Amino acid sequence: MSTAGLDRRTRRRQETIEEILSVAIELMETEGVAALSLSAVARRLGMQPPSLYQYFPSKMAIYDALFQRGNELLRDAYRTATVDAEDQLESNLKAATAFCRWCLEHQVYAQLLFWRTIPGFEPSPEAFAPAQESIQDLRDHLQATVDAGLVHPDAVSAGGIALYTSLVAGLLSQQMANEPHASFEDGRFIKLLPVVLEMFYQQYAPTRGRNDRSTSATDRTS
């Protein structure tokens, strides 16, 4: 978050908040996402634990701020990736690639954003807002693909969104579980991303009929 234009006191407070969040991520990388300790964060920053409560009243509040921060970073990476795409399919691939690459390069954030690793944690509406923006971005991409005549309109249905996110999340889960240290270029599972997208396009081929046998269970129940 930019601190430009803020008064000195507000700017210093925001900088301290960013320091707390950065330290929290570092500790989660070494200790585990659910093992975050406010005392450890305070020690790393050289402050007393009670001072930390001036910025975050609880550990859940830190998770909430990280959930929002992570979703904002991911949303921005997703949007930036498609700027120079020459056609819709390339735009889709670039967007999906940016999404997966970001998650593999920020696995602590990915665990917090997409897997329920924190017992009892539920993001606040404010923290969840950028995630909803990302889902809308996905809908817009799929709608543009429909408008280009490349997939059936059912691709933008609730079932279509569910299938798309399940396919991509499945690749990420396999990659992070089996080869967590592999790069995006070298990952055995994540390199299947173009194949997975092609599977999605085939499922929602333009000639697909709403009542034919290829209609998926997710569409029938959506």
Q: Compute CA distances 35 → 21, 64, 138, whole Å.
A: 15, 15, 32
pLDDT tens, position by position, 182-206: 999 999 999 999 999 999 999 999 9
Residues 31-53, mean pLDDT to the nearest whole number: 92
Q: Where along the chain do the CATH 1.10.10.60 domains lie? A: 1-57
Would you call 215 exposed, middle or buried from its count of C-beta atoms within 10 A (0-12, 13-18, 19+)?
A: middle
**CATH 1.10.357.10 location in the chain:** 68-221
CA distance 162 to 177: 22
- Residue 209 pLDDT grade (very low, low, confident, very high; cuts 50, 70, 90): low
Residue 217 banded pLDDT, cuts 50, 70, 90: very low
Q: What is the pLDDT of residues 7-26, one digit of tens each?
A: 788 889 999 999 999 999 99
pLDDT in the model for residue 216: 46
- Quickly list H helices, the chain: 8-31, 38-45, 49-52, 59-81, 88-105, 107-114, 125-147, 158-178, 193-203, 217-221
pLDDT over threshold 60, residue 210: no
Confidence of residue 83 (pLDDT cuts 50, 70, 90): confident
Residue 211: pLDDT above 80? no
Give percent above pLDDT 90 in the chain.
81
CATH of range 68-221; options 1.10.10.10, 3.30.160.20, 3.40.50.700, 1.10.357.10:
1.10.357.10
Can you give the pLDDT at residue 82? 81
Average pLDDT of 124-144? 96
74-87: average pLDDT: 88
Q: Is the pLDDT of residue 2 over 70?
A: no
> For residues 193 and 190, what is the distance between their CA atoms, to the nearest angstrom?
6
Domain 1-57 class, CATH top level? mainly alpha
| Band of residue 4 on the pLDDT scale cut at 50, 70, 90 | low
* Cβ neighbours around 192 below 10 Å, total: 17
- The pTM for the full model equals 0.86
Reported confidence tier of residue 49, pLDDT bands at 50, 70, 90: confident
- Average pLDDT value for residue range 117-145: 95
